[in-house]
Structure 1
C-alpha cells in the first residue's frame, strides 16, 4: 500500500468508532462487521469481500498500540485525511492532487532544507517509508563501536580506586584511503540501489521497514577499484593506550562503562563506550561484603571467657583496639565503624570482625594443670543435655 493510500483512509470511520475508542470497543466493532461482511456469509459478492478486507485492514492497524499511535501521529501531522490538502494553486476539496515526492523532497518549497525536507525526515522516521534524506550513508555521522576490555587489580586497589593503563584495539578509518574504501586516485560511486541513503525499504503488508542496503551494506557507496590495504572496507585496525579511572569500591566481576572511551566515530559521530570487566585478586586477610570489609581474628579461650582488649588489623591503616566482652562465644561478629570500603556518597562502610576461639595444639604441664582444675570446677553442667532432649522429642 502506498503512503498516500495509507493516510487517506480513515480506519476509525471504517470500523464506525470514534478516535477515542478503547481497544475493547474497536474489537467489538470489528467482530460485528467481520461477521456481516465475511465471504462465507456472502458468497460470490465481490463488494462485501472488498469491504471485509477493508475492515480487516483497519483492525490490523488500530488493534496494535504502536501502529495505531504512528497512524494517529501521521494523520495529525498532515491534517484529517489528505483529501482536503491543497498546495499552491490547488483547490480545497479537489481531492488528492499533488505529488508526495515533491512534498517530502522539499522541491515544493523555496527554502533549501526547509519544511518539506523536515517533514520528509519526520515521516520517514515514523514509518521508515516515503521521504528521503539528502545525507548519504557514506557521509552520515556514525557512532563508534563499543569496546570490551579486562583488567586485574589488587584487593586494595579495588577498594580505594585506581588508574590503569589499557591497550585497546578497535576499528577506525583506513589510513590509506581515508575511509572511502577506494584505491588511491579513485573515488567510490553512489549506490544505484539505495541512491546513496545506505538503506532499503522492505514491504511487510501495511508497513515498510528500513534495513541496510544489501548491495552497499549500508554505506551508500560502491567501490569499483578497492583499496589494497583495507580491501575496500574502508576500515582498519588502530591500537592506542588510554588511562582509565576505576572508581573506588569496585567489586570482583563488575562491568564498568566508561563513556566515549570506545572506538572513534565516523564523519563527526560520537565515540563508542568502553566496557571494562574487573577482576579483583583475593586478599590474604580481608574479605568483602558489599561496602563492608570482613576479617576473622583468632582469640584464646581465656580472652573469650574472661573478656579482653585485642588488636585488630585494618586495610592500609594502623590496627584498632576492639573490646571483647566476657563470655564471648566462638564466631561472634563485631562491627568497627568507618573502616570498610568507600560508598558513593564519600562515606565508608564498616569492618566486620569475627572472633575465632583457637585451641592450642600443645599444652605444657602448668597450662594442663590449670585447665584440669577449671574442668573440675565446672563439672555438673552438661552442655549437651538439652540438645539430646530435643533430638529425642522429634
Structure 2
C-alpha cells in the first residue's frame, strides 16, 4: 500500500515552518497515542506514520530530500546518495513527550505513590434462625492498617517522601533501543515515584503494620448462602497513605436439623402414624420463629402429602430501608410411618384389619391390576 504524503498526514502545507510542523505533530500524536487508544490497531499504525513524518520533516536535510524525491528518497532507490529509512523516531517523540503527556504521566506517578490497599474476603457462617431474624456479628479480621507512627507515609516522623531522582517522580524510565523507545519500571523506586530517605522504625518504611481488627457486621434478615456484604474501607491499608481496600463478607447459612430451605420457602417433613394418617386428625408443628402451628391432617393422607402455612417461611432480603416482597411459606410434608415392635395383640388386630380392608387400598389394587395385565401380555 502506497504511503501517504507526510504533509497531509500532519495536516500542514509544504511551506510550514518548523514550529508549525512541531505543533501539528503534537496534536496528531496526542490524538493517536496508544495509551489513549488501547488495543486499536488503526490508531497504532497512524501513530507510527505521524512519527515517521515528523522525523523527516523536522530535519532540514531530510525534508529537502523528501520535497525533491518524495518517499523514494528513503527507500534506497536514489543510489548511494539517497537517505536511508528513518531510524530512531524515539528521539523525535521525546522532544514533545513531556508537552503532550506530562500531566498524564504525572497523574499515573501519583497513583503509584499512593496505592490503594487490597480487598479482603471473610467467610461467615450463620444459623438458619440468625438468617431469619438478622443479627449483628463480631468478627476478627487479620490484615494491615496504616502505621500510626508515620501516618502511613513510611518515613520517620511522618516526613513526606522525596521525589525519586532517577525517574523524577514518574515511576518509569525510558531508554532508546534502535527504532523503539522502551519504558520500564524505575529500578530505584520500583515504580513508586518517591523514595523514603529515613524509613519509619515501626513499619520499616512500608507505611503499614500487621494488626487484627474486631468489626461489627450487620447480617440482614433473609440472607442466603452466597450473599455478599461489602464493608467499604475495611480491607488492607494502602501503601504510602493510599486509601484502604474493601472487606467482602460472604455468607454461608448452615443446614438445619428440622427445616429445609429453598429461597424464601421452608419445608418440614413430619412423621405421622399409620392410624393417624388413615383417620385424619390434627398435629402441632414448629415454625422458624420459635412458635407452633396446628395443622389438620386429612383422612387417608399418604406419604408426600403437603400442606401450606402461608407467611411462615423466610423473610425477603432487606434492600436499603425497605423490604421487597412478602415472606415465604412453609410446606408441611407428611411421612406415613409404619409401626414397629408390635405386641401380640397389635399383630392380631392388624391381621384382622388386613382381612377386611381389601377395598381400602385403591393404589395397591390399581398397581397389581396393571401387573396382572403385564404378566398376561408376556405369557400371550
In structure 2, relative to structure 1, the CA distance for the partners of 1:335 and 1:236 (3 Å cut) is same
Gaps of 5+ in 2: 5-33, 56-66, 68-88, 318-323
- CA shift, 1:331, in A, is 2.4
- CA shift, 1:147, in A, is 1.6
| 8 A Cα contact 1:138 1:196, kept in partner | no
- CA shift, 1:201, in A, is 6.5
In structure 2, relative to structure 1, the CA distance for the partners of 1:241 and 1:183 (3 Å cut) is same
| 8 A Cα contact 2:112 2:171, kept in partner | no
Alignment map for 1:33-72 (pairs within 5 Å): 66-68=39-41, 71=44
Superimposed CA distance per residue, residues 55-80 of structure 1 (whole angstroms, 9 cap, x where no aligned partner): xxxxxx9xx993237559989xx9xx
C-alpha separation in 2, matches of 1:214 and 1:333: 72
The aligned residue for residue 219 of structure 1 is 192
Alignment map for 1:138-287 (pairs within 5 Å): 140-184=113-157, 188-199=161-172, 212-252=185-225, 254-265=227-238, 270-287=243-260
Between stretches 291-300 and 358-367, larger displacement belongs to: 358-367
| 8 A Cα contact 1:138 1:220, kept in partner | no
- Structure with the larger helix share: 2
The aligned residue for residue 24 of structure 1 is none
| 8 A Cα contact 2:230 2:246, kept in partner | yes
Q: CA-atom RMSD, angstroms?
A: 4.7
C-alpha separation in 1, matches of 2:328 and 2:151: 52
| 8 A Cα contact 2:264 2:327, kept in partner | yes
Using the size of structure 2 for normalisation, the TM-score is 0.62
The aligned residue for residue 324 of structure 1 is 297
| 8 A Cα contact 2:154 2:203, kept in partner | yes
Whichever of the two has the greater Rg, that structure is: 2
| 8 A Cα contact 2:122 2:249, kept in partner | yes
C-alpha separation in 2, matches of 1:205 and 1:156: 70
- CA shift, 1:306, in A, is 3.3
Match of 1:133, SS state, is: helix
C-alpha separation in 2, matches of 1:278 and 1:141: 32
Aligned equivalent of 1:350, options 313, 319, 329: 329
Using the size of structure 1 for normalisation, the TM-score is 0.60
The aligned residue for residue 339 of structure 2 is 360
- CA shift, 1:356, in A, is 0.9
Alignment map for 1:375-394 (pairs within 5 Å): 375-379=354-358, 383=365, 385=368, 386-387=370-371
Aligned length: 307
